[in-house]
Chains A and B, each alone.
Chain A
Amino acid sequence: MNLLVVLFIVALVAVGYGLTLLVDVELTVEERVLYGVVIGTMAVSIVGFAAAWWAGMSRASIVVATVFSLGVSGFGWRHRPGRWARERDDFRRRMRLSPRHPDSPVPLLAILAVSTVVSVRILDIAYGTTPDGGISAGHLSTFGDWSAHLAYAASFAHAENFPPELPTAAGESFAYHFGVDFFSAMFVPLGLSVQGSLQVSSAILVVAFPGIMYVATQRFLANRLASTLAVTVFLAAGGTAALYRFIFVDLIEQGPSVLANLPRSYAFDGFDRNWLDNPVTGFLYPQRPTMIGFAAVLFGLAMLWQAREDGHRTHLFVGLVTGVMPIFHVFAFGVLMGMGTVWALIERTRRWFWFHVPALAIGAPIVIWQLPERGAEGREWHLGWMLGKSRWDQTLPDFVWFWLLNTGLFIPLVVAGLVAVGPGLRLRFLPIFGLLLVANVGIWHFWAGNNAKYVVFFLLLGAPFVGAFLADWIRRDAYLRFGALALLVSLTLSGALDIWRAFEGTADPYPVPYLSGDDVLVGEWVRDTTEPDAVFASANNNVHPVRAIAGRTVVSGAAGRLNDLGVDWLQRDADLRTLYGVNEGFDAVIDEYDIDYLVLGPEERRAFRPPDAPADWDPAIFWDAAAPVVYDIGGYKIYDVRAFQT
């Protein structure tokens, strides 16, 4: 990390801080800084995207975009002259208070200190090196989902992906909320590698998130203990598997030393019985758009809650944030729209017009643009989510046991918490059960497991009420305090152990080899010597250097992820097999995808080998004679196949 990166981070927080000064509601310095991290990230990313599209991805375009964003945020600073100075003085006053005082920011700072250490450590070990000069992955998040995010970020950083196309499926529109990956790519011209850009950009957002959740929950509950517990039960959620698998199996078998090398994940069992992963290790880190989406939902709703009696400016602000949300996290867009609509019906005031118009006017076209080509394929009405779609049966006992295993007593505690809070809050948050309903009445994605993306928002918005319930018990008497502690352990043990496993960093099998030294060589060569808009034919495995290092567009990325995005991966797989098998019509494949280069490496030889191929099968025999070899080192050859394009 260099000074330019630090200045960029400071600038985007300043941008976000300035923009929050445009809203009507009163906020504290810490709220503005924390919300400002996310708002500034969104604002600078949008402006940066426009600048990079217009002038190319370069240090100059990033600097110009940042300066322009600072200028725009200047309206906020000028909008309420003196407000920020008053808020700063108020912060100083509160810093001098005893930590026990309700206005003291010390608990928030403690939460941020913990989140900093945990996040920085986990992200630091996200990537390592292997003895062959390659790259290792430190977590499942890095190995899995981040392979796609690397490709997306690298496509902006190194391949001038403007207008944006899906770099893992040549010719497809970018039907994905890529905003956070573009944000990462902005760090590359400032001096970071693509991997480093993912680590640093993630750190900024995930360090701030627990703080955002705390201050937003404070706005709903005005209860520091409840807010702290809400942050805890959400971030350490993960079901009840550890109550048996850890306490009665692993701990008994291996003793306390098991903590130094936890043998498994407790919230995630490889999509067998557990379908709702821990929000940190299963959502925040791997599914990078949630870094912005979770936070935006929380501060958006907190601002709207505060603005119940205020003017329309806050609604307009949150409406604008919601409108651009499909770029960053389309699920957060849906949640904000849904909650906003219900809240509008409850309040029935004109100010909601200012929310809905910008949110729909900006958001709807983006969502339509993002709709996958396969339309409604894969969607169906289905009761009970994974019941009947996995080892779970569609029976009542399995239904009850499924939710107990995956969420423990979280759902009943949300109900109990909602009963305990005031009617205004209760009414406004009843719609969160709709998120559970949505997940239980249909399969909405090409992969059924993706319904978890609705349930996790239920956990996010239900956590404050679980916190409120537990805080109430803790304050009553010793027996209830003990009960609250037991409930807290039951809700958080699995997730906490999973976070500890990621933090501790020595859990088997990670770190695992990710890209070999040979991969790094070819990836850097492609990045440095081929045209940024070149299209490559390569293996459609989990990670490939042409995608992850060079960011070049390929015919097909990992099949499973293309399936998630609604891309016809099967046809692309068949086309690649035709191409590598040099079957009839291979030249039409080159033509169809405008393929410039064909990569023939170990993964291509493995993945595209026909089942009935003779022992000496080798596509190189054909391609050596048919196309110029532009790279031939180690196990890789790259052919220039542009001559086959018509």
Chain B
Amino acid sequence: MTSVPAAPTDAPPEPIPGQLPLIAMDDRAPSARTPRWLTLRNAVIALVVLGLAARLASLGARPLHHDESLDAWFSWRVLEGTYDGYDPVYHGPLRFYVTAAIFWLIGESEITARLLAAVSGAVVVALPVLWRRDLGSVGTVAAVALVAISPSLLYFSRVGREDSFFLLLTFLTVLVFVAFIRTPRVWHPMALLCLLVAGLAVKESVFITIFVFGGFGMVLLTQELLLAPGGAEHATGDSRGPDPLTVRRVSLVAGLVLMILALFWGEPIFRSLGVYGLILAVALGWAAWNATTRGVELREVPVLRSVLAVPVSWWLTAVWTSILLFITLFTEFFTNFSGAGTESAPYGSIENGLRAGFEYWRGEQDTVRGDARWQYYLAIIPAYEWFLLGLSTVGIGRVLRRPTLVGQTLVWWGVASFAVHSWAGERMPWLLIHPLLPFVILAGLGVQVLWEHRDSAWRLPVALVATAGLVWTLMTAYQAAYERGGEPQELLVQAGQATPEVPEWVDRLYLLDRLMMAEEGRHLTVSIDSDVYWPYGWYLRDFPTGTFAVLDTDSEAPDSDVIFVPHWEQAAIGGQLIGYTTLPYEHRWWWVPDFDVGPGEWGRWLWDRQPWDGSADDPSDCPGSLVGEVYIRDSLYELEQRYLAGRDPDGADKPDYGGPCQRPDVAASEG
């Protein structure tokens, strides 16, 4: 049973039944042969430093993804004072403010554009230590280590989108939520509400967090009402109520199953969720009635006791503080109350924060963005995290046998997030980290369980499998983060990923501009068609001339020195150009494979990332790219070649897929 002290206190929390004793940070790992220096603190510090280094290493190397460039560009606009205000299409403004501050302090670059994500990811690595008495010494170290090396968590900690920062805010919210239920402090409600507001100011997915933990709160309260001792039981000390373990297991599993059924029922979502909420409410009501009839003092029921433990004045302070934070963030620090004025943010700033975000998010659920298949995460997460998921099943088993508050929280968080994200209209690789994180922490708990059973007969095979899985995970993380992080055959790479040609062209455009200024005394004119404009919008933010162009097959060719067009406009635009050198161009690339292929295809992909072709005669399942052409005025091209004579220009590295999807240009160059 979860218990709380009667009033907020700064005293250390009491040991809670079902949990391990509090582990001091300077405790050594539980082995007589453990060296003296190997304390929990040292292990965690070393792993966090490692996690931070892994997140910072070569952070600017991968070309920017389309979304990363937009985030960086909006942050830059905040710094320049030209940000128009919150627009839910591009999500909340908080990360733009933070990144703008980073730009201001240490400069604008691809590294600093990704720094918030990287540092957030490193903080997430450290946070499981706060649940060390629930995870155990070995489990804590394992959880920290696994968060540090999880291929997906590492990869998306190095992507300059909002996901890593939002995951950090979510994790902090969950930590405060658990701490509040366990040992309420007066500042907990304020922290909780402010974290939710901060989350909303980063991404509208905070509604998912509220839904997931709202439901969990109802299930938890139902459990506590059913298990709370009645008046007579209090007096005698005898408990004649239902078995606590059974109540917790059944309510946890039933709550999750009901949620999954509701989400995938097929009825309009608000109807199905309404039914789900009604069922939870009825269960809660019944539990409350049951408790009342047994003479339970409701004020003594743990969850309710936590709520009542915080004085009303502190609740009011929490509300006012969070409102102030909301207004501060959504009005750009009280400088813009009129809002962005876009189609998706048509109201004033405050109303946009309150309404437009939810309306946009709700509208998005009726569309399909990203992968259309609800099984998407069922395929992609195991492809990278099978080892951690395997360990997490051991952790889940421990939770079902011994359902502590933290254990239940992790299972509910993981399964519910998985279900909601699979149901939601937008399925993107970066979203997988939200359901994944609780499973990785559960994997840490699984390691603790295995450690506790280290004397069993299965010791050797388990150790061998664990070693192999760990090595594979490390290699996968390394490959995804550093070697192939920008290449399409990685399933973590989304269709907006720019090819290495893009930053190469950026450098080339600046060189061409200097040459043009030097030779003709004027700036280079560049026209980049809107279809291939991002991430150039960020890279060329300081370019002296405008580079954006809207071209189509009916357009007159622009009179620019350099022109970028996608392949569907090549014939129309290129045909009009005389005196230009034509260069092939590859802008973005992707791979959207069929998942229901045989184990051979999956095996080859797992082994060396060799993509498969879904059908023998249709190569459309192979990695593809948005190709086009770049036209450079002949005289300029000749000048550039003259300037570069005798020097080896850097060439863009292209991946070698091998197998049925071999790239023709790579095959030709190898031939």
A interface with B by C-beta (< 8 Å): 1-3, 6, 117, 120-121, 124-125, 129, 131-134, 516-518, 520-521, 525, 528-529, 633-636
Which chain A residues border B643 with CB–CB below 8 Å? 521, 525, 633
Contact with A along B101-145 (1 / 0, CB 8 A): 000111100010000000000000000000000000000000000
How far does the alpha carbon of A129 sit from the alpha carbon of B109 in the complex, in Å?
13
Would you list 26 pairs from A and B whose C-beta atoms are within 8 A, ordered by A residue?
Answer: A1-B111, A3-B57, A6-B53, A117-B105, A124-B106, A131-B542, A132-B513, A132-B514, A132-B523, A132-B544, A133-B514, A133-B544, A517-B518, A518-B514, A518-B518, A521-B511, A521-B515, A521-B643, A525-B643, A528-B647, A529-B646, A529-B647, A633-B518, A633-B639, A634-B517, A634-B519
Distance of A378 from chain B, by nearest CB (Å): 41
Given A3-B53, A120-B105, does the pair A133, B647 have CB atoms closer than 8 Å?
no
How far does the alpha carbon of A518 sit from the alpha carbon of B104 in the complex, in Å?
28
B interface with A by C-beta (< 8 Å): 53, 56-58, 104-107, 111, 510-511, 513-515, 517-519, 523, 542, 544, 639, 642-643, 646-647
On whether the beta carbons of A133 and B57 are closer than 8 Å, the reply is no
On whether the beta carbons of B105 and A133 are closer than 8 Å, the reply is no
On whether the beta carbons of B639 and A132 are closer than 8 Å, the reply is no
On whether the beta carbons of B111 and A131 are closer than 8 Å, the reply is no
On whether the beta carbons of B517 and A517 are closer than 8 Å, the reply is yes
Contact among B53, B58, B106, B544 for A120, CB-based, below 8 A: B106
How far does the alpha carbon of A124 sit from the alpha carbon of B111 in the complex, in Å?
14
Distance of A516 from chain B, by nearest CB (Å): 8
Contact among A3, A129, A132, A525 for B517, CB-based, below 8 A: A132
How far does the alpha carbon of A117 sit from the alpha carbon of B104 in the complex, in Å?
11
In the complex, what residue of chain B is closest to A529 when comparing beta carbons?
Answer: B646
**Residue among A120, A520, A521 with most chain B CB within 10 A:** A521
**Which 10 pairs of residues, A with B, have the shortest CB-CB distance?**
A634-B518, A517-B514, A133-B514, A3-B57, A131-B544, A518-B518, A124-B107, A132-B517, A517-B517, A521-B514
Distance of A505 from chain B, by nearest CB (Å): 9
Distance of B512 from chain A, by nearest CB (Å): 9
On whether the beta carbons of B510 and A133 are closer than 8 Å, the reply is yes
In the complex, what residue of chain A is closest to B37 when comparing beta carbons?
Answer: A85
On whether the beta carbons of A633 and B53 are closer than 8 Å, the reply is no
On whether the beta carbons of B58 and A3 are closer than 8 Å, the reply is yes
In the complex, what residue of chain B is closest to A132 when comparing beta carbons?
Answer: B517
On whether the beta carbons of B105 and A124 are closer than 8 Å, the reply is yes
In the complex, what residue of chain B is closest to A634 when comparing beta carbons?
Answer: B518
Distance of B195 from chain A, by nearest CB (Å): 25
How far does the alpha carbon of A633 sit from the alpha carbon of B518 in the complex, in Å?
7
In the complex, what residue of chain A is closest to B524 when comparing beta carbons?
Answer: A133
How far does the alpha carbon of A633 sit from the alpha carbon of B511 in the complex, in Å?
13
Distance of A527 from chain B, by nearest CB (Å): 10
Which chain B residues border A1 with CB–CB below 8 Å? 111
How far does the alpha carbon of A529 sit from the alpha carbon of B644 in the complex, in Å?
10
Which chain B residues border A520 with CB–CB below 8 Å? 514
Distance of A598 from chain B, by nearest CB (Å): 19
On whether the beta carbons of A133 and B56 are closer than 8 Å, the reply is no
Distance of B75 from chain A, by nearest CB (Å): 16
On whether the beta carbons of B105 and A121 are closer than 8 Å, the reply is yes
How far does the alpha carbon of A3 sit from the alpha carbon of B54 in the complex, in Å?
9
Which chain A residues border B523 with CB–CB below 8 Å? 131-132
How far does the alpha carbon of A635 sit from the alpha carbon of B519 in the complex, in Å?
8
How far does the alpha carbon of A525 sit from the alpha carbon of B640 in the complex, in Å?
12
Distance of A132 from chain B, by nearest CB (Å): 5
**Residue among B53, B57, B107, B518 with most chain A CB within 10 A:** B518
Distance of A217 from chain B, by nearest CB (Å): 28
Which chain B residues border A132 with CB–CB below 8 Å? 513-514, 517, 523, 544
Contact among A2, A133, A517 for B58, CB-based, below 8 A: A2
In the complex, what residue of chain B is closest to A635 when comparing beta carbons?
Answer: B518
Which chain A residues border B53 with CB–CB below 8 Å? 3, 6
On whether the beta carbons of A133 and B517 are closer than 8 Å, the reply is yes
How far does the alpha carbon of A518 sit from the alpha carbon of B517 in the complex, in Å?
7
Which chain B residues border A636 with CB–CB below 8 Å? 518
Distance of B17 from chain A, by nearest CB (Å): 31
Distance of B61 from chain A, by nearest CB (Å): 9
In the complex, what residue of chain A is closest to B57 when comparing beta carbons?
Answer: A3
Contact among A3, A120, A518, A635 for B56, CB-based, below 8 A: A3
On whether the beta carbons of B104 and A121 are closer than 8 Å, the reply is yes
Which chain B residues border A635 with CB–CB below 8 Å? 518
**Residue among A117, A125, A633 with most chain B CB within 10 A:** A633
Which chain A residues border B513 with CB–CB below 8 Å? 132-133, 517
In the complex, what residue of chain A is closest to B104 when comparing beta carbons?
Answer: A121
Distance of B21 from chain A, by nearest CB (Å): 22
How far does the alpha carbon of A2 sit from the alpha carbon of B511 in the complex, in Å?
24
Known: A133-B517, A521-B514, A634-B515. 9 other contacts (CB 8 A): A3-B53, A3-B58, A121-B104, A124-B105, A517-B517, A518-B518, A521-B511, A633-B519, A634-B518
Distance of A383 from chain B, by nearest CB (Å): 47
Distance of B644 from chain A, by nearest CB (Å): 9
In the complex, what residue of chain B is closest to A516 when comparing beta carbons?
Answer: B517
In the complex, what residue of chain B is closest to A633 when comparing beta carbons?
Answer: B518
In the complex, what residue of chain B is closest to A123 when comparing beta carbons?
Answer: B106
Which chain A residues border B510 with CB–CB below 8 Å? 133
On whether the beta carbons of A129 and B105 are closer than 8 Å, the reply is no
How far does the alpha carbon of A488 sit from the alpha carbon of B515 in the complex, in Å?
54
How far does the alpha carbon of A516 sit from the alpha carbon of B514 in the complex, in Å?
9
Given A6-B56, A529-B646, does the pair A633, B515 have CB atoms closer than 8 Å?
yes
How far does the alpha carbon of A402 sit from the alpha carbon of B77 in the complex, in Å?
47
Distance of B59 from chain A, by nearest CB (Å): 9
How far does the alpha carbon of A238 sit from the alpha carbon of B646 in the complex, in Å?
52
Which chain A residues border B106 with CB–CB below 8 Å? 120-121, 124
Which chain B residues border A2 with CB–CB below 8 Å? 57-58
Which chain B residues border A131 with CB–CB below 8 Å? 523, 542, 544
Distance of B27 from chain A, by nearest CB (Å): 15
